[in-house]
A and B are shown apart, each in its own frame.
With several copies, the nearest count.
Chain A
């Protein structure tokens, strides 16, 4: 048992910091500082810098462009990047479809897609959820009917993040309507510019536009865009979702949130003292910090021991999403009456109105509402608890 970072890890952290000092663009740092929402160009700008350094897909196998880092190093990397407020690397290409392609794709698919994922020349989005199929993903109804060398796809996807930016979408589609739920599903790559694809924005309570509905009307997709075998898509989706879950504890983000929270709690005052010295607020904040500490250690414990059991990703997802919510909830509490003015628009880069209150109050209520999604997406808290109890009790 040794709970300290090795000197190699410390060196690695310094290397990452040096890179960030040198390469993280000032304009993105300024956006992060002012809590201005990142847009497509911001993501691409940063991803191309990472790609140039060779750090865009560190967890990929080395042969495909990965870095061969240890889990602890991957964790340090994530922490340092979120620590400076870097835009998160869009997961759809790098974390989600990329591994599916290099694991199950044909050589042609690998050659065509992987380089453009690494270079951020393709912006991907994910077409899994449907209006009637949220947590119960396997009940999806979008159909793909084979006609010659093409599939004809009809259906609707929902909650598609950044579809408005996307060049490509990877979809689960039903290729065998008669098979049992999970058995008739295939994994298809679709060009967003194909005729019949349309995107409708969904505006969320926080006042932002990230998610969308994607409509697919007689969209013709070449059969070479099928990944793996027909009707085996559920297996690839499960593989993909297990990758999605491990990153979702969001420890880097929580630490960044807490740093901001400390700053706010030092600035805001109650009864003549900084809020961080107010006994009630301090106790809440300390409890949150202790939870962050526990999550971080548990994450490292899982990474270094491989996890005691299949329930660890769920354990991290639940606690992580709770803390991602709790930290912005305390940020909102910290600003008191300034949680009331609604300044979501002030988070847009194009906005030029008169802000209310100091910089740090603007994003508080919108961010609170935005974060409610973390216990819903990527397998809701309820679904994760089902998984944990199933592991414990059998089923």
Chain B
């Protein structure tokens, strides 16, 4: 039982701290050229290939290592597509890719030459990853893809899309009908509407109109997509929780600083007991959240699906609910200044707001956690009958 960073993790964290400080990421996304430069620098530190196997040019890092990196990304409000490429994209290729596919894509990914985005969500699906209406029909040796994906993280400038689609003869929510396909983002019939998310990072809605795919586009087994989709989504959820944790550390730090300096009615704000207790509440919830985010980081890559889902959902619920509350309290205690674009609090608050609604909201994860809980309870005590009779 050890909650502290390993030496390697500490080094990773320190090097990212230096890198992001040097690139002044907290000032916003910057120009395209600046973003490219940062991305290359990230590749050079090994960040992009963090979870890529060593023989494909990566560091073979764990989900806990991803967490360490993501905390720094959140603390520095980095807008680079780490989550979509290095966590989700690399995760899907690692988990489902054939040797040939891994060899084809992972080295380029780790070098920063290939951005990847996972396109799982659909306009009407909310957070149900099995609710897929995009269809891949067999045609000749390959497939033809039709459908629409929405709010694809990193979809704005990814070169490779990993798309969930179902066999045409399967029903809308049937998990076993799902497969994953590798799609060149510049292929004919791929159309994307790019936009920024609340925290400034890029995303897209993407439609596929008769997109022709070769046989080699299939990622993993035919009909075996759902488990991969869930696993990748959990990797992303755990990472965005860690990002939020880093951002919340800043929200609390800024608030603490403001309370210590801003004066009103002849005192610093920090001398008002009500504000002291609000700050104490923020820290209280933050520390408990931190433990859950650590656990989610540790288990996000676990083979034990139930343990993984419980840990990720627990962290996600608390990040969504308490994270939102901490941000609201932080804004409130800053007064007007906390609501301006100019002051840096806003970008951290917006970062947390994205974590709130990405990869399943609180209701989604409370239901998933509750389902596991109910099953475990039933197994422990056995189903019982009405007792009063």
Partners in one complex: yes
- Chain A positions within 8 Å of B, measured between CB atoms, are 1-6, 9, 72, 129, 132, 134-136, 139, 158-159, 202-205, 207, 211, 259, 262-263, 265-271, 274, 276-283, 285-287, 289-291, 293-295, 297-298, 300-301, 304-305, 311-312, 315, 318-319, 332-333, 336-343, 354, 356-358, 360, 365, 368-369, 372-373, 375-377, 380-382, 384-386, 388-390, 392-394
CB proximity of B308 to chain A, nearest CB, Å: 13
Out of A158, A291, A298, name the residue touching B336 (CB < 8 Å): A158
Q: Which A-B residue pairs are the 8 nearest by beta carbons?
A: A389-B276, A297-B291, A294-B288, A286-B370, A388-B280, A262-B377, A385-B280, A282-B370
Out of B3, B151, B353, B370, name the residue touching A285 (CB < 8 Å): B370
> Given that A266-B384, A318-B284, A337-B127 are contacting pairs, would A276 and B361 also be in contact in the complex, using a CB cutoff of 8 Å?
no
Q: Within 8 Å of chain A (Cβ to Cβ): is B47?
A: no
Does B317 lie within 8 Å of A290, measured CB to CB?
Answer: yes
Please name 24 pairs of A and B residues whose Cβ atoms are closer than 8 Å in the assembled complex, sorted by A: A6-B1, A135-B264, A159-B336, A203-B340, A205-B346, A205-B349, A266-B377, A267-B386, A268-B387, A277-B374, A286-B373, A290-B318, A298-B291, A304-B1, A305-B3, A311-B283, A336-B126, A336-B127, A339-B353, A373-B339, A385-B280, A389-B280, A393-B260, A393-B279
CA distance A4 to B197 in the complex (A): 36
CA distance A166 to B349 in the complex (A): 32
CA distance A385 to B284 in the complex (A): 9
Does A380 lie within 8 Å of B279, measured CB to CB?
Answer: no
- Kindly supply a per-residue 1/0 record for chain B positions 345-389, scoring 1 wherever the CB is within 8 Å of any chain A CB and 0 otherwise: 010011001101110010100110110011001101101101110
Does A392 lie within 8 Å of B339, measured CB to CB?
Answer: no
Q: In the complex, what residues of A have CB within 8 A of residue B265's CB?
A: 135-136, 139
CB proximity of B271 to chain A, nearest CB, Å: 9
CA distance A295 to B270 in the complex (A): 27
CA distance A356 to B265 in the complex (A): 46
CA distance A135 to B363 in the complex (A): 37
> Given that A1-B2, A392-B280 are contacting pairs, would A289 and B369 also be in contact in the complex, using a CB cutoff of 8 Å?
yes
Does B259 lie within 8 Å of A3, measured CB to CB?
Answer: no
Chain A interface mostly: helix
Chain B interface mostly: helix
Q: In the complex, what residues of B have CB within 8 A of residue A354's CB?
A: 193
Q: Within 8 Å of chain A (Cβ to Cβ): is B292?
A: yes
Does B256 lie within 8 Å of A392, measured CB to CB?
Answer: yes
Q: In the complex, what residues of A have CB within 8 A of residue B340's CB?
A: 202-205
> Given that A269-B386, A285-B373 are contacting pairs, would A294 and B6 also be in contact in the complex, using a CB cutoff of 8 Å?
no
Out of A136, A265, A271, A318, name the residue touching B377 (CB < 8 Å): A265
Q: Within 8 Å of chain A (Cβ to Cβ): is B195?
A: yes
Name which residue of chain B comes closest to A387, CB basis.
Answer: B280
> Given that A270-B126, A300-B1, A356-B205 are contacting pairs, would A135 and B369 also be in contact in the complex, using a CB cutoff of 8 Å?
no
CA distance A45 to B201 in the complex (A): 39
* Contacting residues of chain B (118-168) with chain A, CB-CB under 8 angstroms: 121, 123-124, 126-128, 150-151
> Given that A276-B373, A385-B277 are contacting pairs, would A340 and B203 also be in contact in the complex, using a CB cutoff of 8 Å?
yes
Q: Which of B121, B294, B332, B363 has the most CB of A within 10 A?
A: B363
Does A298 lie within 8 Å of B288, measured CB to CB?
Answer: yes
Does A9 lie within 8 Å of B1, measured CB to CB?
Answer: yes
Does A3 lie within 8 Å of B1, measured CB to CB?
Answer: yes
Out of B195, B263, B276, B318, name the residue touching A385 (CB < 8 Å): B276
Does A135 lie within 8 Å of B361, measured CB to CB?
Answer: no
CB proximity of B242 to chain A, nearest CB, Å: 12
Q: In the complex, what residues of B have CB within 8 A of residue A365's CB?
A: 198, 353
